[in-house]
Amino acid sequence: MVCLHPCSHLDCHWLPMMQLIYFSLRGLDPLHQSVSEFVDVIGEAVERVGGFVGMWTVVSALAGLNHHDVLVEGLAVLTAELDTDGSGVVGTAAATIHAGPAVFGPVLLQAGATSIVELHWLAGLLGSAALLSFLQRDENKKDGDQLCAQNQQFERAKKEREKEESENMAGLMAGFGHYTHAVVRGIPASLAKEALRTSQAEVDLTRARTEHEAYVEVLRTRLGLEVVELPADESLPDCVFVEDAAVVCGETALITRPGAESRRRETEVMKEALKDLNLNIVEMTDENATLDGGDVLFTGREFFVGLSKRTNQRGAEILADAFKDYAVSTVPVLEGLHLKSFCSMGGPGLIIIGSSEPAQKALKIMQQMSDHRYDKLTVPDDIAANCVYMNLPNKGHVLLHCTAEEFPESVKVFEKLKDHMLIPVSNMEKVKVDGALTCCSVLISKNPNI
């Protein structure tokens, strides 16, 4: 026979503490305090008391609150603390009888505090006709109750996810990732020998042009963008990397001042092309400023600007003046050519980042400086983190990324993005002259009436 009287196994000096815990828990207000606050208090109470009487006291107080979420979360805490001798289970069963088995029995099961078999055993041991009545319902009814409880739990989790997604979307640029036009440029023969580079690997010009043609064809045919192709210029060996010549956000185009002097004339033809698209042109005329578009990461909520060999503080300040609706933060680029040499956006609130120490340090700085929360997708290869993200009508989330031939382990990571249309695009030759996927286009979203 198990005694259920709370004082029968206690020395006198324990009684005041048990009463204090009981009435402290009962004094909490489920309407004005979060479930997590309750769970913290419950955890502290469980640490201070143990065994049957302690569990009886804590769970009885929980039952008296008559708040479903608190019961479930609180019992989850108790489950983790159950004694190996089963005294915790006995305590929860005692509280079940105390609170009313018809209400508390399903909650015990949902919280995982015990099992149907254990409750049957406890009902017989404790002589609880009410608990036995609950357990002896029609089998279909029991299944229905459990299914209902599971559905309720699922619906609560769904609402939490929807709330979190809503919060994540707050402040996001309308139409982020929705593009209608792309500006690209041909590859001059001079790229093979004269383009700026950190590697001395030999470039196969024919293959580079084939890769670039495939890239442009994906934009035009597979994704349906209107592609503006600018002619190659042999006097500008790096001109295919159009991203560095302009930063476009909404209807404003900032014409940059590239950090490499040999590339500054690339902006001339870019400016004219963007004028033809009726964008508002802002020019960077300050001779103390440098800015490469490859150092600019727009998240849909804010800009991060890499301070690198090609971009300085003054360039970042001018970008902030051009796009006053968005916060602008600077990030030191300790290694690599540009900020986007090891990161890019993979969707609203998702940053794709390389695994190197400099890349991870840069991400940490971005997270610390931002008022927004970003998820991250870490890939083993830094340059593989440079991807082109779009969100297009009838196609949804689209990601242009490296091929398995280039970076097989990184491609395995991209395959986790089940909601994305994944399009591998080869970049084996242009990477030899420090070119990446985002470098080769300027993406624009034009309203139909512009």
Q: Which of 6-15, 275-284, 344-353, 426-435 has the lowest mean pLDDT?
A: 6-15
Q: Which of 227-236, 302-311, 377-386, 440-449 has the lowest mean pLDDT?
A: 440-449
Q: How far apart are CA 295 and CA 310, in angstroms?
A: 8
Give the model's pLDDT for residue 60: 58
Q: Helix or strand or coil: residue 205?
A: helix
Give the model's pLDDT for residue 94: 47
Q: Is residue 297 part of an annotated ligand binding site?
A: no
Cβ proximity of 118 and 134 under 8 Å: no
Question: Each residue of 79-98: pLDDT tens digit?
Answer: 554 443 444 444 554 454 44
Q: Reply yes or no on whether the pLDDT at 32 is more than 70.
A: no
Q: Reply yes or no on whether the pLDDT at 53 is more than 80.
A: no
Give the model's pLDDT for residue 168: 52
Task: Give the residue among 400, 421, 429 at the shortest CA–CA distance from 211.
Answer: 429
Q: Which amino acid is at 334?
A: L
Give the model's pLDDT for residue 334: 87
Q: How far apart are CA 44 and CA 38, in angstroms?
A: 10
Q: How far apart are CA 154 and CA 134, in angstroms?
A: 24
End-to-end CA distance of the chain: 84
Q: How far apart are CA 274 and CA 444, in angstroms?
A: 9
Give the residue with greater pLDDT, 108 vs 283.
Answer: 283
Q: Is residue 248 part of an annotated ligand binding site?
A: no
Q: Which amino acid is at 104?
A: F
Question: Each residue of 93-124: pLDDT tens digit?
Answer: 445 444 444 444 554 454 444 444 444 544 44
Q: Reply yes or no on whether the pLDDT at 303 is more than 80.
A: yes
pLDDT band for 139, please (50, 70, 90 cuts): very low
Give the residue with greater pLDDT, 24 vs 87.
Answer: 24
User: What percent of the chain clears pLDDT 70, i.e. is strictly above it?
Assistant: 61
Q: Is residue 263 part of an annotated ligand binding site?
A: yes
Which structure tokens are listed for 61? 């107080």
Domain spans of the chain?
Answer: 12-136, 181-444
Q: Reply yes or no on whether the pLDDT at 132 is more than 80.
A: no
Question: Each residue of 242-274: pLDDT tens digit?
Answer: 999 999 999 999 999 999 999 999 999 999 999
Count of other CB atoms within 10 angstroms of residue 75: 26
Give the residue with greater pLDDT, 35 vs 352.
Answer: 352
Which residue carries 């060996």 as its tokens? 237
Question: b/e for 190-208, b at 16 or more Cβ within 10 A?
Answer: bbbebbebeeeeebebeeb
Answer left, alpha or beta for residue 51, where phi above 0 means left and psi between -120 and 50 means alpha.
left
Q: Is residue 238 part of an annotated ligand binding site?
A: yes
Active site residues: 338, 439
pLDDT band for 172, please (50, 70, 90 cuts): confident
Question: Each residue of 382-428: pLDDT tens digit?
Answer: 999 999 999 999 999 999 999 999 999 999 999 999 999 999 999 99
Cβ proximity of 358 and 335 under 8 Å: yes
Q: How far apart are CA 388 and CA 59, in angstroms?
A: 53
Q: Which of 19-23, 39-43, 319-323, 382-386 has the lowest mean pLDDT?
A: 19-23
Q: Reply yes or no on whether the pLDDT at 8 is more than 60.
A: no
CA 175 to chain centre: 18
Give the model's pLDDT for residue 20: 53
Give the residue with greater pLDDT, 360 vs 147.
Answer: 360
pLDDT band for 211, please (50, 70, 90 cuts): very high
Q: Is residue 243 part of an annotated ligand binding site?
A: yes
Give the model's pLDDT for residue 84: 39
Identify the architecture of domain 181-444 in CATH: 5-stranded Propeller (3.75)
